[in-house]
Amino acid sequence: MIVESRSRDAIAVQSTCKLNLFLEVVRKRADDYHDIETLFQEIDLKDRIIIRRADAGVEFTCNIINLARPGENLVERAAARFFTHTGIRGGVAIALEKRIPAGAGVGGGSANATATLQALDLLFETKLPLREISQIACSLGSDCPFFVLGGAAVGHGRGELLEPVSLPRRAFLLVIPPLVLSTAAVYARVSPDLATRDSVRALPLSKFESMNVNDVESAIFNRLETAAIEAEPRLNEIRRTFERAGIPRFHLTGSGSGSFAVFETLTKAVEAAESFRSVRGSLVNNAQAAGLLKDTKVFAVESLGRAS
């Protein structure tokens, strides 16, 4: 979370999102969740959240209408949990300005929820320990605690058990089509394979710590990628567009639908984004591709380190 402005009665913050540079599904648990090993990397694509004190309740608005349904957005739920946990009397009006597409595997909603908890902690001066904020965040989503930590971290369990790591600064091309994948449906396609798999791929952390992008490329892995494509075959059109744009190596993040490619510098990521957009523009006469690609979001982004 990044604080933009703060006064006694209001606070404005930015919430980020993440990529999964590595994601292995270790086992299915008795509670129907899955144990994973993952490498989270925070990136500088951001939403904006403005919170103002109010007399009572939680009033929530969003620039994306279908994300503003009462009681369904994680921001609204995070605020309710904060007031229940702290016992504070009062209320807030929260406005969420979304730029990060929903359902893309980049944790935008989880980051919104976590930033809301952190912003409320500052606004009401409750001074909750980070561990306590992480516990509340975890009740909202498995990857929410990562956004309390930020930077880069290895995640275990459901992703909530975190070990911070230091990785070199890198740039990414991030492509997010207008496809919302069900995380549960994607994991369901992986589960039957877990019983027959002889070994679990280990996280090659030293390769991610390398300055060499080729080392990083060889280490990136996502066990959910095949399952996501089976669940949503239209992802293959995005893959073909990467290839047509001269970007042969690209990877799904989380359970999708977002995909990314890694670069040494932001300049190179911007060039790749321009190539992708150019290819997208050339496909306007391809009805099947154009319908999907027209609303596909393309971003050149950089990794973020952990806030001091």
- Band (pLDDT 50/70/90 cuts) for residue 293 is confident
- Reported pTM: 0.94
Is 143 noted as a catalytic residue in this protein?
Answer: yes
* Number of Cβ atoms within 10 Å of the Cβ of 290: 15
Q: How much of the chain exceeds pLDDT 90, in percent?
A: 84
SS3 content of the chain, % helix, strand, coil (to 5): 35, 30, 35
Residue 80, both tokens: 């309710």
SS3 55: coil
Catalytic residue among 9, 18, 98, 127: 18
**pLDDT, tens digit, for every residue of 78-135?**
999 999 999 999 899 999 999 999 889 999 999 999 999 999 999 999 999 999 999 9
Tell me what pLDDT residue 286 has. Answer: 66
Q: Is residue 139 part of a domain?
A: yes
| 157 and 98 both lie in a single domain | yes
Instruction: Tell whether 156 and 287 lie within a shared domain.
Output: no
Last residue of a domain, one of 150, 165, 180: 165
Q: What is the pLDDT of residue 164?
A: 97
Q: Are residues 220 and 281 in the same domain?
A: yes
Choose one of 165, 188, 207: the last residue of a domain: 165
- The range of the structural domain enclosing residue 227 comes to 171-302
Asked if 205 and 168 count as a contact pair (C-beta separation under 8 A), the reply is no
> If you write DSSP's letter for every residue of 265-291 in order, what string do you get?
SHHHHHHHHHHHHHHHHHTTT-HHHHH
Residues with Cβ < 8 Å from 118, sequence gap 6 or more?
1, 13, 133, 148
CA separation for the pair 84, 142 (Å, rounded): 20
Written as six digits, the tokens of 144 are 């929410």
Annotated catalytic residue 18: yes
| Residue 224 CB-half CA count within 13 A | 33
Domain boundary among 98, 131, 165: 165
In a domain, residue 276? The reply is yes
Among the listed residues 46, 47, 98, 143, the single catalytic one is 143
Residues 234 and 297 both lie in one domain: yes
Tell me how far apart the terminal alpha carbons of the chain are, to the nearest angstrom: 12
What does the pLDDT average to over 199-227?
A: 94
Domain assignment present for residue 307? The answer is: no
